[in-house]
Amino acid sequence: MPELPEVEVSRMGISPHVVGKTVSAIIIRNPTLRWPIPEAIKAIEGQVISQVTRRAKYLLLHTDVGTAIVHLGMSGSLRVLPAGTPAEKHDHVDLVLASGEMLRYNDPRRFGAWLWAELNELHQVLTKLGPEPLEAVFDADYLFDKAQGRRTVVKQFIMDNKVVVGVGNIYANEALFSAQISPQRPANKMTKAEVIRLVAEIKSVLAFAIEQGGTTLKDFKNADGKPGYFAQELQVYGKGGQACPRCDHSLSEVKIGQRTTVYCSECQK
């Protein structure tokens, strides 16, 4: 599923096409996604999109009257196309722009969302989110304090959106490998030095994935239709049973929180 780097790449891809543009219409072919698309979202028609921001895995399209909130779910994608391009299967929403282009939302599994927040309203899906991992507030002091008293394993800990947003399964695997920390270690057993390494690696792996254009594994394609290339840089994710790139020991694969977890039992303690 699209994770934070893929969503950020989508934000960067669509922004030049939609910022400063007037929405002439929103076409909703299927109002039943993860949540029903609210009728109030029609207020975006006639409005100028002032900016596109990202919070966790949500894209926010801001206008003077409110904000459209888009989540890509497990298989969603956004494409910039000429207005009037014939719709295909799973093309659920079109945001038609007066410029002659449109933003098209495709989602085969329909686990994504289009929501609406009135001006100065903080939508409930955004109220309990932790800090952004690439911002300064997410540092070793913060994460170490959060880990105290937390017996949950460290992989689930860093994937908790109330602790820090956007560290999805792929990037949790990669960051823990680079930091040489076992994903099965209780969070409260990490030393301060280990937390310093882990925070640095989370920031590094996410920033590099964004630079590489996001990770294309199955469903995701960028706004311009080009795939991301970070999948070529993965060290451990999807490589259970293969040789560890650091020590050649066979990589272990287990389920943690029903998510595939790959790690090196020799390198990661």
Q: Which of 152, 159, 207, 201 is nearest to 179 (CA)?
A: 201
The reply to whether 6 belongs to the active site is no
**Residue 238 and residue 230: Cα distance in Å, rounded?**
13
The reply to whether 57 belongs to the active site is yes
The reply to whether 88 belongs to the active site is no
The reply to whether 3 belongs to the active site is yes
User: Of the listed 11, 21, 54, 57, which one is catalytic?
Assistant: 57
User: Of the listed 55, 189, 246, 259, which one is catalytic?
Assistant: 259
Answer yes or no: is 150 a known binding residue: yes
Q: What is the 3-state secondary structure (H, E, C) of 171-222?
A: HHHHHHHHHCCCCCCEHHHCCHHHHHHHHHHHHHHHHHHHHCCCCCCCCCCC
Answer yes or no: is 90 a known binding residue: yes
**Residue 92 and residue 218: Cα distance in Å, rounded?**
20
User: Of the listed 2, 5, 133, 183, which one is catalytic?
Assistant: 2
Answer yes or no: is 54 a known binding residue: no
**Residue 239 and residue 253: Cα distance in Å, rounded?**
8
User: Of the listed 3, 6, 8, 101, which one is catalytic?
Assistant: 3
Residues annotated within the binding site are 90, 109, 150
Please give the positions annotated as active site. 2-3, 57, 259
Residues annotated within the binding site for DNA are 90, 109, 150
